[in-house]
Chain A
């Protein structure tokens, strides 16, 4: 499931010509990676890893991937914002979102 999602994202990045679609592709890839990380931490019949006084540490899902994914979601958000800002500026300069027409750098 995650691998399918990841492949869809990678396909988007590699094949699409529209800047916005590339950004969406990167988003899909990131979500696939995050989902995969969460699934690794899943335990059968697990419950939320909240530790209270009268509870034993049993049947909890692994809390570490959740912390990790939280951080990586924040990083992904920052990246997404930056990419969208840059693509808006690119649109102002080139008047197009088509990457085949944005090719002033060569060599």
Chain B
């Protein structure tokens, strides 16, 4: 079942290219079907993971280390579930949104290619294969960011492409050093070798290279410069999927998988990660304050929330990791919702400037109220999801004895509330008369509204996932995978026999 996660989007991408030229709506139809299918696959996969544990698919029937395996454990299953859920909704949302562009089938083809890459990263059990999937997803994203073909979009895309490809080259050199040291590319065998031979000096160099590479993909603070630019002028579904899926899977998932499960976490690395996390939280929060562009504000907010996620992983206690996983889920849902809302607002009012937008709730009730829920969830207002995950992370900080970190996390949470309130309160509830008569084309909004409603419901009810249930079990298993660190190696090698 595992290879279908890569095959379905990849096949859809090529089918769209074939059929898109013949009939115009083919792109949207094929993409929607494919994303729904891969969401179903990831859902069944996570159900069976809970029952049976790890799944390994040996591509072409070759045994590792000669063959390239695809590995799904509970952590990958959780990430796949979130990624495909968001991707399916974003695809639905895109169907109406991209009608302002010509050649929409190219857009859907690129979107599916990106999803193939993202799913590939999550299932790959081989470090170079992971790099290849990561490059596929990144390349598709560069093209998608430039899709609008405006001057700013092209500039942002070029900037993103240059920075990201420098990071990729760092990763490639890191892989080369790692191969030189361990003489295998399979992640489980690399872990076994490192366990057997201890960490050499070269490992710290490799760690730095990977930290820089994945840090840029995850938009951690010193490497975050591409993110607000890339989000500003691209088509609105792109920041939604990028913030919800791309930076989580390409950055956070790949980083934690390698550092926790393959290399084994060491004290210096966790201190470096904590440092990056705190810097991102503060820099993202403070820079978001001065923004007047709605998407830039959301972009900086993403940087800040990624800081929370990395902080939880870096502390590394079971509670903190659990909080991080839950925050990945909550942030994906809420931030995609907010970007979709921003896209809808922008499409109707033709502006991204917060100061020019007002009275959204009265004119576009669905967009207004769903955005409100999303914003409240990200700020951490009690009944919504974001509150619980932040609470767990802050508790975990205190439990592990990092009182300063707990204070910073709480402070940034208040900061988040402040800038969201400053931006969203006038926008949603401001005076109505400043709206011009630009609200004519409000029909056929259903496909854009439906994903937002679903996301809002999930975001509002996500505390239910903490109650015993399938999601809870999955999160507990995923936490165990990360906390147990290099036990991953023996699990994989054990189930290969």
A36-B176, A40-B176, A90-B155 as given contacts; A29 in contact with B146, CB under 8 Å: no
Enumerate chain B residues within 8 angstroms of A93, measured Cβ to Cβ: 150-151, 154
A6-B173, A37-B176, A105-B152 as given contacts; A90 in contact with B158, CB under 8 Å: yes
Smallest beta-carbon distance A32→chain B, Å: 8
Enumerate chain B residues within 8 angstroms of A105, measured Cβ to Cβ: 152, 155-156, 159, 229, 232-233
Q: Is A89 an interface residue (CB 8 A)?
A: yes
Q: Is B157 an interface residue (CB 8 A)?
A: yes
* Selected interface stretch from B9-17, B161-169, B309-317, B395-403: B161-169
Chain B, Cβ-Cβ closest to A31 = B169
- Contact among B149, B157, B162, B290 for A13, CB-based, below 8 A: B162
Assembled-state Cα–Cα distance A105/B226 (Å): 11
Chain A, Cβ-Cβ closest to B287 = A107
- Contact among A19, A26, A36, A64 for B166, CB-based, below 8 A: A26
Residue of B131, B149, B155, B172 with most partner-chain A CB within 10 A: B172
User: Per-residue 0/1 for B176-189: is the Cβ within 8 Å of any A Cβ (1 yes, 0 no)?
Assistant: 10011000010000
Enumerate chain A residues within 8 angstroms of B128, measured Cβ to Cβ: 68, 71
Chain B, Cβ-Cβ closest to A102 = B155
Q: Is B142 an interface residue (CB 8 A)?
A: yes
Q: Is B269 an interface residue (CB 8 A)?
A: no
Question: In the complex, how many residues of chain B place their beta carbon closer than 8 angstroms to a beta carbon of chain A?
Answer: 38
Establish whether residues A79 and B161, one from each chain, have CB atoms under 8 Å apart when the complex forms.
Answer: yes
Smallest beta-carbon distance A69→chain B, Å: 9
Enumerate chain B residues within 8 angstroms of A79, measured Cβ to Cβ: 135, 139, 161, 165
Residue of A72, A93, A105 with most partner-chain B CB within 10 A: A105
Assembled-state Cα–Cα distance A75/B293 (Å): 34
Smallest beta-carbon distance A61→chain B, Å: 13
Establish whether residues A89 and B173, one from each chain, have CB atoms under 8 Å apart when the complex forms.
Answer: no
- Contact among A10, A33, A83, A87 for B172, CB-based, below 8 A: A33
Assembled-state Cα–Cα distance A40/B181 (Å): 10
Q: Is B132 an interface residue (CB 8 A)?
A: yes
User: Per-residue 0/1 for A77-99: is the Cβ within 8 Å of any B Cβ (1 yes, 0 no)?
Assistant: 01100110011011001100000
Smallest beta-carbon distance A40→chain B, Å: 5
Establish whether residues A86 and B158, one from each chain, have CB atoms under 8 Å apart when the complex forms.
Answer: yes
A33-B169, A86-B158, A87-B158 as given contacts; A104 in contact with B176, CB under 8 Å: no
Assembled-state Cα–Cα distance A46/B232 (Å): 52
Establish whether residues A40 and B179, one from each chain, have CB atoms under 8 Å apart when the complex forms.
Answer: yes
Q: Is B381 an interface residue (CB 8 A)?
A: no
What 12 additional pairs, Cβ within 8 angstroms, besides A37-B179, A104-B155, A105-B229? Answer: A10-B166, A22-B162, A26-B162, A26-B169, A29-B169, A33-B169, A36-B173, A40-B180, A72-B131, A79-B165, A87-B158, A90-B154
CB<8 Å pairs between A and B, sample of 17? A10-B166, A13-B166, A26-B162, A30-B165, A36-B176, A37-B179, A79-B135, A79-B165, A86-B154, A86-B157, A93-B150, A93-B154, A103-B155, A104-B152, A104-B155, A105-B229, A105-B233
Which chain B residues have a beta carbon within 8 Å of chain A's beta carbons? Answer: 128, 131-132, 135, 139, 142-143, 146, 149-152, 154-159, 161-162, 165-166, 169, 172-173, 175-176, 179-180, 185, 228-229, 232-233, 290-291, 293, 296
